[in-house]
């Protein structure tokens, strides 16, 4: 079986502004980085359904986003939801494809039609909570996928593993009282959004692994080896979802961690080994951050290469 890659050109239409770090070039870089890899199959991402979204997001929140999207004939193409997060013409289609990709990936992996999957989509999702868009994020794709696995496929325990350089405050908020979902995040601290302290444990299902500015692969691997991976093994997930942010890379301009491509390959191999042992290898990965285009291409290639092994 192959590693499934989900993408769609609608994800290129979300436009937060010419100078914004979260540009459509990010997806192009990822696809260029992974396009020649053996063992992958690229398919178009479908649109998420309202039912899938409402398992996580409040109906009034989603309806308000749809209302705020600028119409195609509008002269001004961006609506600011906060200083960093924007809606443009095409944003709704883009974020629906991203959540739809994650849900479709769940379907295909559980059905045994793919070894695992990576969703090369945007905008990212892990800062969005049930009722608030923030941090470039409109919908929380990993959260939507987790609830889809449980509601549509009867999965009991879902693990969401997040190695983006920023803490996934939205994912933590959504699941902090849900003992059927384990959330583990390594991230730089201090850094936006200011959450992710080790003392934040939810109902015993949240594990934060904060890393100091300047930390590199040694510290990253130690945190996951000593705490993150053992917690994952104890949880015995039935499926694993990865919030795959590549902005902890040494070349990324938005933070100060110093990971290399091989660190992303290593953590992916470790996660896949746990998945093989506990849940039949079921892994679905969703693109989050990563804002140096060359680093994004090479780090995502290391990630996908590890998925295909």
Distance, in Å, from the CA atom of 119 to the CA atom of 113, rounded to the nearest integer, reads 16
> What residue spans of 112-216 are helical by DSSP H?
141-153, 169-175
Task: Find residue 239's DSSP bridge partners.
Answer: 158
Annotated catalytic residue within 57, 127, 148, 187 = 127
What is the three-class DSSP state of 104? helix
Rounded (5°) CA angle 309-240-190 = 105
Query: Is residue 26 within 8 Å of residue 79, measured between CB atoms?
Result: no
Question: Is 127 a catalytic site residue?
Answer: yes
Neighbours of 12 (CB within 10 A): 17
Could you tell me the two tokens for 87? 């809606």
Query: Is residue 164 within 8 Å of residue 243, measured between CB atoms?
Result: yes
Contacting residues for 73 by C-beta, under 8 A, at least 6 apart? none
Q: Which residues are catalytic?
A: 127
């Amino acid at each position: 079986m192959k590693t499934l890659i989900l993408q769609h050109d609608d994800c290129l239409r979300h436009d937060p502004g010419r100078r914004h770090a979260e540009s459509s070039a990010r997806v192009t870089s990822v696809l260029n980085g992974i396009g020649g890899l053996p063992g992958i199959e690229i398919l178009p991402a479908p649109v998420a359904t309202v039912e899938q979204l409402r398992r996580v997001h409040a109906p009034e929140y989603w309806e308000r986003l749809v209302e705020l999207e600028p119409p195609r004939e509008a002269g001004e193409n961006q609506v600011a939801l906060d200083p960093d997060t924007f809606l443009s013409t095409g944003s709704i289609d883009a974020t629906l494809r991203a959540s739809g990709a994650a849900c479709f990936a769940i379907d295909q992996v559980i059905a045994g039609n793919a070894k695992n999957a990576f969703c090369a989509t945007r905008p990212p999702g892990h800062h969005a909570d049930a009722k608030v868009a923030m941090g470039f994020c409109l919908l929380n794709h990993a959260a939507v996928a987790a609830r889809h696995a449980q509601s549509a496929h009867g999965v009991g325990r879902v693990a969401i593993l997040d190695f983006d350089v920023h803490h996934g405050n939205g994912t933590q908020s959504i699941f902090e009282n849900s003992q059927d979902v384990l959330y583990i995040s390594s991230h730089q601290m201090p850094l936006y959004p200011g959450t992710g302290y080790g003392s934040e444990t939810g109902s015993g299902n949240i594990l934060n692994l904060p890393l100091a500015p300047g930390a590199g692969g040694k510290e990253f691997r130690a945190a996951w080896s000593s705490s993150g991976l053992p917690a994952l093994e104890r949880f015995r997930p039935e499926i694993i979802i990865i919030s795959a942010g590549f902005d902890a890379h040494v070349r990324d301009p938005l933070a100060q961690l110093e990971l290399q491509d091989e660190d992303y390959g290593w953590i992916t191999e470790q996660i896949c080994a746990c998945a093989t042992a506990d849940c039949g290898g079921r892994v679905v990965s969703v693109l989050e951050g990563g804002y140096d285009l060359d680093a994004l291409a090479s780090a995502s290639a290391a990630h996908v290469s590890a998925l295909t092994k």
